[in-house]
Amino acid sequence: MRNFSFSRRRLLSALAACAVSLAAACPVRAATVKDVKNAAPRVHLPPVHEHDRCPVCGMFPARYHEWLATIEFRDGTAVHFDGAKDMFKFWLDMKKYDTKGHTQKDVKAMGVTGYYATEMIDARKAYYVIGSDVLGPMGHELVPHPDLYDAKEFMKDHHGKAIVRFEDVDMQMLLGLDEGRFIVHGRELK
Q: SS3 for 47?
A: coil
Whether residues 2 and 48 fall in one domain: no
Whether residues 49 and 116 fall in one domain: yes
Residue 128's pLDDT is 98
Sign of CA pseudo-dihedral 140, 141, 143, 148: positive
DSSP bridge partners of 144 = 128
Whether residues 21 and 83 fall in one domain: no
Whether residues 75 and 97 fall in one domain: yes
Residue 38's pLDDT is 79
Report the domain count for the chain: 2
* Helix H or strand E segment including 21: helix 2-25
d(CA 7, CA 1): 10
pTM recorded for the entire structure: 0.81
Secondary structure (DSSP) of 84-120 = HHHHHHHHHTHHHH-TT---GGGEEEEEEE-TTT--E
Q: Is the pLDDT of residue 1 over 60?
A: no
d(CA 110, CA 120): 9
Whether residues 22 and 56 fall in one domain: no
Residue that wins the pLDDT comparison between 6 and 94: 94
Residue 148, CA atoms < 13 Å, CB-side half-sphere? 8
Whether residues 49 and 87 fall in one domain: yes
Predicted confidence (pLDDT) per residue in 143-188, tens digit: 999 999 999 999 999 999 999 999 999 999 999 999 999 999 999 9
Whether residues 70 and 3 fall in one domain: no
Residue 22's pLDDT band (cuts 50, 70, 90): very low
Q: Is the pLDDT of residue 43 over 80?
A: yes
Whether residues 73 and 141 fall in one domain: yes
Query: What percentage of the chain has pLDDT greater than the value 90?
Result: 78
Whether residues 47 and 15 fall in one domain: no
Averaged pLDDT, 51-56: 98
Whether residues 29 and 44 fall in one domain: no
Q: Is the pLDDT of residue 11 over 90?
A: no
Whether residues 143 and 118 fall in one domain: yes
Averaged pLDDT, 103-124: 96
Please give the residue range of the domain that contains residue 11.
1-33
Q: Is the pLDDT of residue 129 over 50?
A: yes
Q: Is the pLDDT of residue 111 over 70?
A: yes
Residue 64's pLDDT is 97
Cβ–Cβ under 8 Å, residues 160 and 131: yes
Averaged pLDDT, 11-35: 43
Which of 114, 110, 180 lies closest to 153, judged by CA?
Answer: 114
Predicted confidence (pLDDT) per residue in 77-96, tens digit: 999 999 999 999 999 999 99
Whether residues 56 and 137 fall in one domain: yes
Residue 59's pLDDT is 97
